[in-house]
Amino acid sequence: MSGPGEVVITNITKAFGDNNAVENINLSIPDGSYCCLLGPSGCGKTTLLRMIAGHEVPTEGDITIGGQSVIGVPTGKRGTSMMFQSYALFPHLTVLDNVAFSLKMKNIGREQRQQEAYEVLKKVQLEPLATRMPAQLSGGQQQRVALARSLITNPKVLLLDEPLSALDEYLRLQMRAEVKRLQLDLGITFIHVTHTQPEALALADLVVVMETGRIEQAGSAREIYDLPKTTYVAEFMGGWNVFSGAVRDSKNNMETLKGPGSEVYQVPAQGKKEGSDLSFGVRRDKVHLLGTEGQEDRGNALSGKVNAVEYQGNWVKVTIDRPEADQIVAVIEDREYFTNPANVGDDVTATWSPADVHFMEKALGEQNLIGETF
C-alpha cells in the first residue's frame, strides 16, 4: 500500500521534435519525502517536474501519484501544486485574492474563501500584507504568497521549480531553512528542482542527479556526496579529485595504476585484469601536503606547483598544478595548513592514503559543469 504522496515514474520519455529532453527515466519518490532534482540547465529536470504537474505530456511512460496513474488527468486534479520559478502571481489580484484563487475556481463563497486564505497567510506570516498587490511586495514576500497559494489547495505533492534562485544569498539561506521546516510540518512530498548542489544536499532526503535527460544517480545526500557512482556525479557535486589509470600490477591486496602521464597510484585491489582502465576519486579533504606537521607519505604522492591558496576560516583550499595533468585540490584544516603554509608558486607534494580511494564509473561524454562549491 503506497502513501497518498508517493510518486512513481516509470520509463518516462519526453521528446521535443527530434530531441529527447527526458529519456527513459525510472524513479520512485516515497510519500512524505523531500526530493531534489539536481542538474545543470538543460538536463531535463524541469521538464520532468512539469510532466508530474501535468504541464507537459510525456511521450512515453507512466507516472503514478499515490498509486493512481495521472497520465491524462488534468493539472489541478492530480493532488499536485506547483510553485513557479517566477512565482507567477496574478498581478491584478491582491495577495488575499491570489491565495484564494483556487477556492474561487471551485465556486466557494467569498467569505469562506477569504477566511481560509487568511489562515494560510498566517502560516507564512503574511497576514498584514493581505490587501497589497503583488507588485508592492519584495521577492521574498512574493515567494511566500506563491507558497501560500499552493498550500491552500492541500496538495499531496508540492512541486517547486527553482524556488530559491531569484533570492539574494542571505534570503536564500533563510528561505531554505523555512521550506524544509514546512515540509517536515506538513509531512507531504516535496519535489524541488535546483541547480545548486548545497541546496540539494541541505534539503533532500532523496537527491536525483540528472544529466542530458538521464538520471546519473539517485540516493541520499550522503550517498551522492560521499559515494558518487560516476565521475560525472563526483565532478558535478564538487569536493572530489578525479583520477584514472590502467592496472599495472597487483600484490598484497594493493594494485598499482599507471596514469596517462608518469604518475603512479596505489589503490586497493579490484581484481581487474592488467591493462584495464579504472577511474577513482579522492575527496579533497583527504588530501594532505607533505611537510606540514604530522604528515608523511600516506602511500600516494604527487608533486606540483601551488596555483592558488584560498583561506576559508576553518579550512584552506590549495590548488596544485601538475604538468600535463589535471589539477589537484586539497582542502586542509587551517591549523594543519599553518604549521607550514604553502604559497603560490611553491613546489609541494600532495599525499593521500589508498584507503581514501573511491572507485567510480567513467561518465559518458564530456562534462562541462564542475561543482566548485566545497
Provide the binding-site residues for another protein, judged by CB under 8 A: 53, 55, 74-77, 80-82, 84-86, 88-92, 101-102, 104-106, 149, 153
Q: Is 47 left (phi over 0), alpha (psi -120 to 50) or beta?
A: alpha
Residue 88 or residue 227: which is nearer to another protein going by CB? 88
317: cell is 583550499
Residue 101 or residue 118: which is nearer to another protein going by CB? 101
Residue 148 or residue 289: which is nearer to another protein going by CB? 148
Kindly state the DSSP code that residue 273 receives in the 8-state scheme: P
Residue 82 or residue 201: which is nearer to another protein going by CB? 82
Residue 151 or residue 331: which is nearer to another protein going by CB? 151
273: cell is 585484469
Least distance from C-beta 136 to another protein, angstroms?
Answer: 14
Residue 90 or residue 338: which is nearer to another protein going by CB? 90
Among positive and negative, which fits the CA dihedral 198, 152, 46, 190?
A: positive
Q: State how far the alpha carbon of 272 is from the alpha carbons of 61, 241, 263, 299, 362, in Å.
A: 38, 22, 19, 20, 15
Q: Which residue type does 335 have?
A: R
Alpha helix segments (H runs only) across 268-372:
334-338
Least distance from C-beta 350 to another protein, angstroms?
Answer: 48
Least distance from C-beta 92 to another protein, angstroms?
Answer: 5
Least distance from C-beta 59 to another protein, angstroms?
Answer: 19
For residue 247, give the nearest of 275, 288, 209 by alpha carbon.
Answer: 275
Alpha helix segments (H runs only) across the chain:
45-53, 95-99, 101-105, 110-123, 139-151, 169-186, 197-203, 221-226, 231-237, 334-338
Least distance from C-beta 38 to another protein, angstroms?
Answer: 22
CB 94 within 8 A of CB 148: no
DSSP structure string for 350-361: EEE-GGGEEEEB
Residue 159 or residue 233: which is nearer to another protein going by CB? 159
Least distance from C-beta 339 to another protein, angstroms?
Answer: 55
By three-state DSSP, how is residue 112 classified? helix
Least distance from C-beta 106 to another protein, angstroms?
Answer: 6
